[in-house]
A and B are shown apart, each in its own frame.
Chain A
Amino acid sequence: MTSNTQVLRSAVLTHNPAWAQLLGLCPLMAVSTTVTNALGLAAASSFVVIGSNVMISSLRHHIPEQARLPLFVLIIATFTTVTTLVLEAFSYELYLKIALFVQIIVTNCMILGRAEAFASRQPVIPACLDAVGTAVGFAIALIALGSVRELLAYGSLLRDADLLFGQSAAQWTLQLVETGPVPLAAYAPGAFIVAGLMFALIKAFGRRHPEVKTPSVEGTRS
């Protein structure tokens, strides 16, 4: 396996920010009430993590050691603000629903963690691949959690897709059951229960199939 593939695989699977490192759980729990919300936050987080990793890696030889943390936060805050402005301009209804959690991407230690641990020490291509892997891993966790919660809470998938994809997507909603069997899943306690069960399942799968090298929880930093 080439080193670039290893970087990507590690970021998506074995070091997945959500289920392996338990990072960025606040927006993960808060926004994953529906698949559409989850997709919106996944796209916003992806843009910020990829943009900031590439910029930090490109400038890594010019960033003084003493000022690296303020500069990382400045760069991440810039990409977060750009994302917020673009979302407010082109997906206003979705912006009104998830704006708070897009704005706090700047404090997401998943992104600062990748900048400090990887992007600031590696060339641009591996840093970009690491960011793509981290973004994909976070998106998989968000969409999986969003799908399960939306199914349990509302009995549907892709409700309000028009908020993200325009008016033509209003017909995309799949109403699988008339009402959601577990309305609690739409609220914070439901999010913790569903996320806990999902992470436990993934861990159990990893133990049964060690050859797949799926996740091991390495530490709980936020």
Chain B
Amino acid sequence: MSESSLLKVFTPLLIIGGLCGILLVLTHQMTAPEIEANREARTRALLEEMLRQPLPAQTEIDADIFGSCARWLFVRTEATGYAGPIHLTALRRTDGSTEGTEGLSLRVVGHQETPGIGDFIDHTRSRWIMELDNASAQAYAQLDAVSGATITSNAIKRAASQIFNQVKVFCDQ
């Protein structure tokens, strides 16, 4: 192909590509604040559902670990599952004043596990992980692997153990 015919093909490609890019940038600028607000509201709703009470308004929910060592702490972590990283949000309650409210609750906020086999960890698909709410370190360690999804189950066990240690280190500092 000669230089001039290459130019004839690539010039329109570049110009139309640029037009598409401008359209995308403009749309992104218009929608970014709304999308950010929607994501934050969803995260806040999930945290409040786990905590079963409203979060204080000034809580910095973007941090990897936040809350109070005397009552509750939220921790964000990830574990390696069968098909990729499993992103988790955990609530570690340390206030044992009410029975059954001291322990660890987990929610999976992102994963790539096999649909129908490994996605039982997703609380929107199965109650499996919700039944472990406020469970102790020992209960997580003794968890039986789900048949056919051993790697996924073990990832959750490892993540729980890691979070118990992480909270201990954080609160000891």
Known: A82-B24, A92-B42. A71 touches B35 (CB 8 A): no
| A2: Cβ under 8 A from any B Cβ | no
Question: What per-residue 1/0 map shows which CB atoms of A199-218 lie under 8 Å from chain B?
Answer: 00000000000000000000
| B interface, size bucket | 10 to 19
With A and B bound together, what is the CA distance between A78 and B9 in angstroms? Answer: 20
Q: How many A residues, CB 8 Å from partner?
A: 20
What is the bound-complex CA distance between A81 and B9, given in angstroms? 25
Check A82 against B23 for contact (C-beta < 8 Å): yes
Choose, from B11-19, B106-114, B130-138, B160-168, the stretch at the interface.
B11-19
Which one of A66, A74, A85 contacts B28 once the chains associate, using CB atoms below 8 Å? A85
Query: In whole angstroms, how far apart are the Cα atoms of A74 and B15 in the complex?
Result: 12
Flag whether B57 is at the interface (Cβ < 8 A): no
* Nearest-Cβ distance from residue B29 to partner chain A, whole angstroms: 10
Contact check, A70 vs B31: say whether CB atoms are below 8 A apart: no
- Residue of B with least CB distance to A91: B38
Residues of A within 8 A of B34 (CB): 89-90
Counting CB contacts under 8 A, is A221 at the interface? Answer: no
User: In whole angstroms, how far apart are the Cα atoms of A75 and B12 in the complex?
Assistant: 13
Q: Give Cα A85–Cα B23 distance, bound, in whole angstroms.
A: 12
A117 at the interface (CB under 8 A from B): no
At the interface, is chain B mostly helix, strand, loop or mixed? helix
Q: Would you call B35 and A78 a contact (CB within 8 A)?
A: no
Closest residue on chain B to residue A62 by CB atoms: B12
B16/A88 in contact, CB under 8 A: no
Q: Mark A57-101, 1 if CB is under 8 A from B, else 0.
A: 001001110110011001101100110011011101000000000
Beyond the given pairs A59-B16, A85-B35, A88-B35, 14 more chain A to chain B contacts, judged by CB atoms under 8 angstroms and listed by A's residue number, are: A59-B12, A62-B15, A62-B16, A64-B9, A74-B17, A77-B20, A78-B20, A78-B24, A81-B24, A81-B27, A82-B24, A82-B27, A88-B38, A89-B34
Q: Which residues of A contact B (CB under 8 A)?
A: 59, 62-64, 66-67, 70-71, 74-75, 77-78, 81-82, 85-86, 88-90, 92
Q: Footprint of A on B, CB under 8 Å?
A: 8-10, 12-13, 15-17, 20, 23-24, 27-28, 30-31, 34-35, 38, 42
